[in-house]
Amino acid sequence: MTGFSRFSLPLSAPPHADAPEHWVDRSLLAGPGGEECLHFGTPLDRDALRALVEEQSVQLAAAGLGPGGTAALRLPPSVAFVAVLLACWRLGAQVALLDHRLTDHEVDAAVARLAPQVLVGSAHRPAAALRGFSEVEPVAVPLTDGRPARTGHALIQLSSGSTGPAKVIARTAGDLLRELDCYRRLPEFPGEGERVVLLSSVVHVLGLVGGLLNGLHARAALTVPERMTAAGILAAVGTSTLPTTLVGVPFHAELLAGTVAPPPLPHLRRMIVAGELVRPGLPALFTERYGVPLGTMYGMTETGVIATDLDGTLHPAKRPVHGMRMRLVAGELQLGAAASPYPGLDDPSRWADGWLHTRDAAALDPGTGLVTVLGRLDSQVSIGGLKVDLTEVEQTLGALPEVREAVVVFDGEAVEAYLAVQPGAEPALVQAGLARRLAAYKRPRRLVVLPALPRTATGKLLRDPAALRATAAATAAAATTVR
């Protein structure tokens, strides 16, 4: 997160102006008082959650937060995070979410960029890395340089940063409610009387809207595992008799598919992943292990869910959600969007004339309306005048039995592949497998084998060539030191 500059926008409509009055109480907090809604180690019912939200509302108001105000949250996954987020929105404030795993330097840069009036952090250190949630006491600190909201957005998020610096992305309360309505229209998505075991970060769009907010809105109980290990996730699935859906990213599906003999899980309904293309063979392997489908979704932080294949029957295609407008321009998928989701940024290459540029290559079936995402548009590069699709190379690598995970990048001159292999697999076998499947001009000039590929805080594979080379250099230096 570098190169931040402050907003320079006049105050537009206040946050939440496009949502019904009292939308938080009516759409997220409503329901029978004794009904369990959250499980972060212990169950929490709706009466208890409403009481916590009221308590946090009082504390935030005492810190100076009110209608049209701005707050930044730096809290780990926790009941406190949920209560503070809903309290901020209930007060009519605009909320920016900061991943608790960011360094102090990164947080300082984000605060300088966003200029919130209140920064909410934790009085205690978050739990260890593999813990799914923390027990924290939120502390609201007024910031003297903070500014009130200058746009009508209710939510400010930062993109994952898997391909470079994070983008600042804004959404209105009305848009969040629109996305929740999209989920409500999907019969395969968790609803009332069902349960979600959430593995995705609540700071980012899938975990926040598809997991937390949808669980509250649809009255599907939400559980966060105590530990984000395969054993911890499976234990969380097995603690209830409600029909259960796992929601995460492909990394979590890979982790669970690697469990050779999982316990019987009769109430597991399916797993749903989003954030990246799944590697070939993973859906079949997951179904073989657990007897349920691995559903996939395509979405963006800017819009939330765009298209789904929740039963795994359309793969690699997906069906657009209700109301989603799409078109292809020069191979790029563009989405209908009335306004730019990038506050303070006038960039027609990202949004122009009511269309959001996804920068994803895709195919649209005019007969069925199905969309197939082919990868990033910038993954198509020219090598000696010949076109090479990095996504094709990466998917081919991922389908080899010797390869656990792979990332393929272009450094401006040559294609490089970074991969982790199965125990005992020799790089020569990978080279031979590629030679049988890809033309010579498509094959990576370098194959770099690492113990594990670096990922972002949200579990996405890191794709920045400089960062990958730094990881490879550090790995080689460590190996030399051991010798």
CB 310 within 8 A of CB 292: no
Do 222 and 325 sit in the same domain of this protein? yes
Do 322 and 353 sit in the same domain of this protein? yes
Phi, psi (5° rounding) for residue 416?
A: -120, 145
Q: Looking at the predicted structure, is the pLDDT value of residue 240 above 50?
A: yes
Answer whether residue 339 is part of any domain: yes
The residue type of 355 is: W
Q: Give me the pLDDT at residue 166, please.
A: 63
Give tens-digit pLDDT for 39-73.
999 999 999 999 999 999 999 999 999 999 999 99
Q: Looking at the predicted structure, is the pLDDT value of residue 481 above 90?
A: no
| SS3 assignment for 383-397 | ECCEEEEHHHHHHHH
CB 219 within 8 A of CB 318: no
How far is residue 289's CA from residue 240's CA, in Å, rounded to a whole number?
Answer: 20
Give tens-digit pLDDT for 274-294.
988 888 889 999 999 999 999
Q: How many helices (H) and strands (E) does the chain have?
A: 13, 25
Answer whether residue 312 is part of any domain: yes
| 401-405 average pLDDT score | 91
Do 323 and 393 sit in the same domain of this protein? no
Answer whether residue 13 is part of any domain: no
Answer whether residue 479 is part of any domain: no
Do 446 and 315 sit in the same domain of this protein? no
How far is residue 169's CA from residue 342's CA, in Å, rounded to a whole number?
Answer: 5
Do 127 and 250 sit in the same domain of this protein? yes
CATH number of the domain to which 340 belongs: 3.40.50.12780
Do 170 and 299 sit in the same domain of this protein? yes
Last residue of a domain, one of 352, 374, 396: 374
CATH number of the domain to which 410 belongs: 3.30.300.30
Burial of 438 (0-12, 13-18, 19+ CB in 10 A): middle
Answer whether residue 12 is part of any domain: no
As a whole number of Å, the end-to-end CA separation of the chain is 37
Q: Looking at the 3D structure of the chain, how many domains does it have? A: 2
CB 85 within 8 A of CB 98: no
Do 215 and 172 sit in the same domain of this protein? yes
Answer whether residue 58 is part of any domain: yes
Give tens-digit pLDDT for 156-183.
997 755 444 567 899 999 999 999 999 9
Do 230 and 153 sit in the same domain of this protein? yes
Do 467 and 334 sit in the same domain of this protein? no
Domain that holds residue 98: 23-374
Do 358 and 419 sit in the same domain of this protein? no
Answer whether residue 364 is part of any domain: yes
Q: Give me the pLDDT at residue 1, please.
A: 36
| 472-476 average pLDDT score | 88
Do 453 and 419 sit in the same domain of this protein? yes
Last residue of a domain, one of 374, 394, 420: 374
Do 96 and 198 sit in the same domain of this protein? yes
Last residue of a domain, one of 353, 374, 395: 374
How far is residue 144's CA from residue 284's CA, in Å, rounded to a whole number?
Answer: 55
Q: How confident is the model at residue 118 (pLDDT cuts 50, 70, 90)?
A: very high
Q: Looking at the predicted structure, is the pLDDT value of residue 307 above 60?
A: yes
Answer whether residue 461 is part of any domain: yes
